[in-house]
Amino acid sequence: MRLYSYWRSTTSIRVRAALNLKGLAYEIQPVDLVAGAQRGTEYAAVNPGHGVPALVLDDGSVLTQSLAILDYLDEAHPEPPLLPDGAVARARARAAAHQIALDIHPVNNLKVINRLKSMGHSPDETVDWMAHWMTEGFAAFQRLIRPDTPFSFGEIPGLADLCLVAQVYNARRWELDLAPFARLVEIDARCQQVEAIARAMPDRQPDAP
């Protein structure tokens, strides 16, 4: 498989971690988001949505949207599972993941920040913007997960944890105050002890500077 990916992209981190957890082989095809490669004709042919990641399967099928890719990976390669047992628990795990993937990430995406800057907002204002949505989203996430498990929903890392580790990385990048989110910091630290997740983090990517 080939994964179109950018080292620091949180959506790419999620998918890299899932591929690693499931022991799947893949090669990385870097897409330089800062250089605008996601908007070039070559990548637009892969993903008309102009975002990473995109996963090309061995038969040439192209999958886009990180959550759809994660669903595919969990269906095609069920072990280890990304979701807990039981319909209610699964809905709750998905809801926590969506809190980050659908409520924090879209409003803090590079293209949104660039748009805010082009409308006259200063870099400091855009950092405030991102911090606002991360703080609100992390507060909700912390209340949505289980209070008593090593990972967000159980004994092994799952969908919500993969979204979390990526967003915590991004939060640290922008120097967000994580003091109110001790449970999230603790889960992130536990996830970083899992080699499959640690190997998915930005600094270990071939396109990291």
Ligand X SMILES: N[C@@H](CCC(=O)N[C@@H](CS)C(=O)NCC(=O)O)C(=O)O
In the complex, residue closest to ligand X by CB? 51
Query: Residue 33 interacts with ligand X (CB under 6 A)?
Result: yes
Near ligand X by CB under 6 A: residue from 29, 109, 135, 192: 109
Q: CB-wise, 5 or 154, nearer to ligand X?
A: 5
Closest approach of ligand X to the CB of residue 108, in Å: 9
Say how many residues touch ligand X, by CB under 6 A: 13
Structure tokens at 136: 């609100």
Alpha-helical segments (H) within the chain: 10-21, 41-46, 66-76, 87-98, 105-108, 110-118, 123-144, 159-173, 182-192, 195-198
* CA 112 from centre of chain: 17
Cβ(97)–Cβ(160) below 8 Å = yes
Please give the backbone phi and psi of residue 172, each rounded to the nearest 5 degrees, phi first: -65, -35
Nearer to ligand X, 111 or 132 (CB): 111
Which C-beta is closer to ligand X: that of 86 or that of 106? Answer: 106
Residue 48 and residue 86 in contact, taking contact as beta carbons nearer than 8 Å: no
Shortest distance (Å) from residue 149 CB to ligand X: 25
**Closest distance between ligand X and the C-beta of residue 62, in Å?**
13
Map residue 83 onto helix, strand or coil: coil
Nearer to ligand X, 109 or 146 (CB): 109
Q: Which residues bind ligand X (CB under 6 A)?
A: 9-11, 33, 38, 51-52, 65-67, 109-111
